[in-house]
Amino acid sequence: MSWNPVYRLIKKIPRGRVTTYGELARTLRLPGGARAVGYALAACPNGYGIPWHRVVGARGYLRIGEPHRSLQRQLLRSEGVDLESGRIDMTLFGWSPLHGPRKRPRPRSKRIHSRERRN
């Protein structure tokens, strides 16, 4: 079970961070794509310390149905992941197995044109 590459990778997700089904699928190059990850998680065993709750949809929504959904909310909240808006801000809490924490986009400034290019 926990020798499953999907689970192994999920174990690497840091506390307070989340990643997506698609990201995991891409990383592992799963032919089945994102859905395959969903299937793996549906069969996810308990008691192996697999932080299944840190896997969310590409847009920061929880894809699992009740009653597990509530548990996932609670677990994420306990780690400091903000869900108040109904979805997770991936620019803040997203994490990639390959690239680590997702880079926060530079605040869109209004005065871009007056900026001389550097580098």
**Residues near DNA (CB under 7 A):** 20-23, 31-39, 41-42, 44, 52-53, 55, 57-59, 63-65, 68
Report, in Å, the least distance between residue 21 CB and DNA. 3
Q: Which residues fall within 8 angstroms of residue 12, CB to CB, at 6 or more apart?
A: 97
Residue closer to DNA by CB (options 107, 118) is: 107
Residue closer to DNA by CB (options 37, 114) is: 37
Which of 36, 8, 3, 11 has the alpha carbon at shortest distance from 21? 36
Which of 42, 57, 40, 56 has the alpha carbon at shortest distance from 3? 40
Report, in Å, the least distance between residue 46 CB and DNA. 9
